[in-house]
Structure 1
Amino acid sequence: MSRWGILALLLSLITICQGGDGGTPSHGFHGFRDLPCPNAEDILPCTCNADENSRMDMDCSHVESEEQLERVFSATFPFSTFRNFTIFNNTFLTLLRNQSLGTASFTGVYFTNSVLEMVEPYALSNSFATAQVINMQKNLLVSFPFETLPSFTSLLELDLSDNRLIVPPLESETLLMLDLSNNEITNVSATAFSAVPQLSEIDLSGNQIPQIQTGTFAGHHNLYHVSLESNILKYIPEGAIQLTSSKPGTLILKSNDIRNIAINGITDIAKGKIDVSYNNITEMVEDVYRPLLMDDATLDITNNPLTCGCEIAWLIRNNNLLQLVTEGAACFNGQLLVDLNPGIYDNMGCECSHEWRNWVEDSGRSAASSRGGVHFKDKDIFLLIPQSPSHHPSSTLTQPSPHHRHAPRHAHRTRLWTQKATDAREPSHLRASHGVKYPGVEVDEQHPVEAGSALRHQLQQKGVADQPRDVAAAREGGL
């Protein structure tokens, strides 16, 4: 063949590949051009889009029946692994049937703001291994296959908020975020989430939950956010809420009918936020709230009918702790806590704190909260144990206030034992004292009032009281 013949042949091949004379491409080539998505005509009214990395998203918001959805997913799919499946603002689909999505699998399932009432157990079975997010918020759901959650081996987020669900105890080895807000939940058992060990965030706000049990929100090492806002809670029992994550915790108990919180009802919210606003709390019990504030948690207790009697004196006398209470917190008569005069509580004969568990290190910083555990990792940590009248150490630990007006009465009533952490298991090493013993710091055991000033001075000399918390501790006299 001549050189010109070869050239003509090449030109004809190029023309064929470009679609002949410029008309509509052939059907076969059209299918190739749509890859990795299926042919657009085959999946109407759904649409498929792929990004530059060939990750496909399927949107079926305009489907008008369950049958139509099944027809779409019975089409030929060159690839069945999708990133997201979306149905939004759909007013037709009330049921997501078993196998209605064919062989397709998804990483994210978003069926929201629609009229969905029921999800059958195997509607998402092809996504058991791939789904990381299931979001079905703002539907009319009365039935969801919670029993299949263990099969979703990659699931991280489950959002079923704003539905009509009642929720059984859940099980998932992978779930991190759970949103069940604004449903019809009236009961949460102590084991409701015990089989969801990785849980870090849970929202149960806007339900009709009257009570929570001891241990309901405890034992989850990643848990840092719990919202029970706008329920009908009246009481928080001991051991109910424990946020042990390394992240600063957030606990929202706003807008309930809470009147009392048990000692240790809320623990381990170091440097976090606690919101108990808009409840019926009348007393800020020291053993409840002081441990939380000592852990640098901020407290919103606004819009509660606080009586502001002697039970709140411990807070009003300690400006450092008071600063952690949200601005606007007030007594039942509207007087702001920050405007209360500490002298009133002295004049009214309110006693100083004398039953307070307090572990301290040589910096003067608290090493453990009230009625909590302590890890003796630092050789300079001291354990304080008050001696009972029979000269046996009692189970309650004490924070003395030696330079306060009423301290002498308490000083002779509660003698303190001190011991180095290294001697923690050796009762024979206990030494009697009226104050905290520091290395190189002497305390006059016979004159507790003067001892408070002397201790403060010696700590300042050692540079201990330069830290903000240490200043507060020295001011209180109860390090």
Structure 2
Amino acid sequence: MQEALNFFCLFILYSVPGTSGQILCPDSTEILPCTCSQDVIDRTVNVDCSEANSSDEIHYPFNDVDWPFQNLTRFLLKENNDVSVLPEGVFGDISFEEIFVDLTSVTSLHFTTLLPSKDRLWSLIIGFSSLEEFPWEILPQLINLKELDLQFNALTSLPLLQSASLEYIDIMFNEISHVEAGWSLPNLRILNLNSNPVSDVPTGFFSDMGKLEEFLCFSCALGPTLSTKSLEFRSATFKRIVISSNSISTLDVDAITGLQPNTRLSFRDNEIRELTEVLFRPMLDVLSVDTGHMDIVGNPVKCDCSIAWVVLNPSFLGSVFGVCTDGTNFQDLDPIIFEDCARSEPTLVDDYSTWIDSRMK
């Protein structure tokens, strides 16, 4: 509805006799060093302030110049090392659908920067910059925000996040070491925490992420032990989890639950030495039903009797990608060799290292 209204306004403006496309932007000399451009066919009105030498040079065009059209499409600030802050009221009453800040020295933005766009903003990108602070508390007010991309910054904390609209969050390559349970992101599809020193995911963290499809935490700090219910997913559409390069050597029982038959699970480049049945079988029971799989390439897995329960089950073996410490691919292991492994009950509780469930035969 809002998009249709904006287009109608553009149509009316362009239909007024004696006017040109410039009616949507102020006189170009009044907003320098910012520039304004529009395309009625694409229905876009964009403002680029990449040449600004200070925050004041962004503040002035939006607050001291009359704009004939206030519902703009995109704000851009790119490859700029002179602007360090987007201060209070920097955009005046001008609103945007997209805000794109990239390769800058911006360290913070005041929450009022986003308020004029609270009903229209769908994409907020501040990447490859120096962002140390972000007004997380304003997220519930940004009712149409779908995409939040803050990758490659200097953020160190991540409080409880709440948003009924967000579908994509990318905070990769920051300095976040801790996350709290209680997030409310019912429409979130992708959460990317890659390359943050996150050492623990609290129980219940994913409770209100019922549409989550991907969780990415490559090169975090989840090891050496992944605790029970650390990764307890609640989404029937969950497709992908990446926890590679986390120095994980062992898992507690039920450390990862809620996988779906087509989920792709990557344990690549960790320190897992043994595929203990009591820990890994519940996951393979699900993944082997359809196209799901577990990737443990790059782990020092011993291909002795501890892996027999996988090798002797074709469905399990077809759902695990891995290489033994001697360089043998899992799919090249000879099941006949593993038939000689002991078949007695484990002598210690949860010790399946030399036991093969008779159901595998």
TM-score, scaled relative to structure 2: 0.84
Counterpart Cα distance in 1 of 2:92 and 2:327: 63
Tell me what 1:346 maps to.
339
Tell me what 2:25 maps to.
37
For each residue in 1:412-467, what CA deviation from the matched residue of structure 2 results, as whole angstroms up to 9, or x when unmatched?
xxxxxxxxxxxxxxxxxxxxxxxxxxxxxxxxxxxxxxxxxxxxxxxxxxxxxxxx
Tell me what 2:162 maps to.
171
TM-score, scaled relative to structure 1: 0.64
Q: 5+ residue gaps in structure 2?
A: 1-16, 347-355
Aligned partner of residue 185 in structure 2, secondary structure: coil
In percent, how many aligned pairs have the same letter? 27
Letter in 1 for 2:210: H
Tell me what 2:218 maps to.
229
Tell me what 2:138 maps to.
148
Contact 2:70 2:94 in 1 (8 A): yes
Tell me what 1:189 maps to.
180
Asked if 1:281 corresponds to 2:269, the answer is: no
Give the counterpart of 1:270 among 261, 270, 273: 261
Change (3 A) 1:332 1:218: farther
Give the counterpart of 1:300 among 272, 295, 298: 295
For each residue in 1:296-355, what CA deviation from the matched residue of structure 2 results, as whole angstroms up to 9, or x when unmatched?
3211101111123333111010122212222xx1222333222322233322324589xx
Asked if 1:48 corresponds to 2:43, the answer is: no
Counterpart Cα distance in 2 of 1:406 and 1:223: 34
Change (3 A) 1:323 1:251: same
Aligned partner of residue 298 in structure 2, secondary structure: coil
Tell me what 1:205 maps to.
194
**Residue 68 of structure 1: how far off its partner (Å):** 1.1
Letter in 2 for 1:229: F
Tell me what 1:312 maps to.
307
Counterpart Cα distance in 2 of 1:333 and 1:213: 36
Aligned partner of residue 87 in structure 1, secondary structure: strand
Counterpart Cα distance in 1 of 2:209 and 2:159: 18
Contact 2:185 2:208 in 1 (8 A): no
Match runs of 1:75-114 below 5 Å: 75-114=65-104
For each residue in 1:180-200, what CA deviation from the matched residue of structure 2 results, as whole angstroms up to 9, or x when unmatched?
111111112233xx2222221
Deviates more, 1:68-77 or 1:341-350: 341-350
Counterpart Cα distance in 2 of 1:134 and 1:229: 23
Contact 1:88 1:111 in 2 (8 A): yes
For each residue in 1:98-148, what CA deviation from the matched residue of structure 2 results, as whole angstroms up to 9, or x when unmatched?
111111001111011111011112122111121111100111011111121
Match runs of 1:112-151 below 5 Å: 112-151=102-141
Deviates more, 1:344-353 or 1:303-312: 344-353
Counterpart Cα distance in 2 of 1:303 and 1:160: 30
Tell me what 1:337 maps to.
330
Asked if 1:67 corresponds to 2:56, the answer is: yes
Q: Which structure has the higher relative contact order (CA within 8 Å, separation 6+)?
A: 2
Counterpart Cα distance in 2 of 1:339 and 1:80: 64
**Residue 204 of structure 1: how far off its partner (Å):** 0.6
Contact 2:308 2:341 in 1 (8 A): no
Tell me what 1:9 maps to.
none
Match runs of 1:402-417 below 5 Å: 407=358
Counterpart Cα distance in 2 of 1:339 and 1:102: 65
**Residue 33 of structure 1: how far off its partner (Å):** 4.7
Contact 2:186 2:209 in 1 (8 A): yes
Q: CA RMSD in A?
A: 2.3
Change (3 A) 1:30 1:279: farther
Change (3 A) 1:301 1:173: same
Contact 1:138 1:161 in 2 (8 A): yes
Contact 2:184 2:208 in 1 (8 A): no
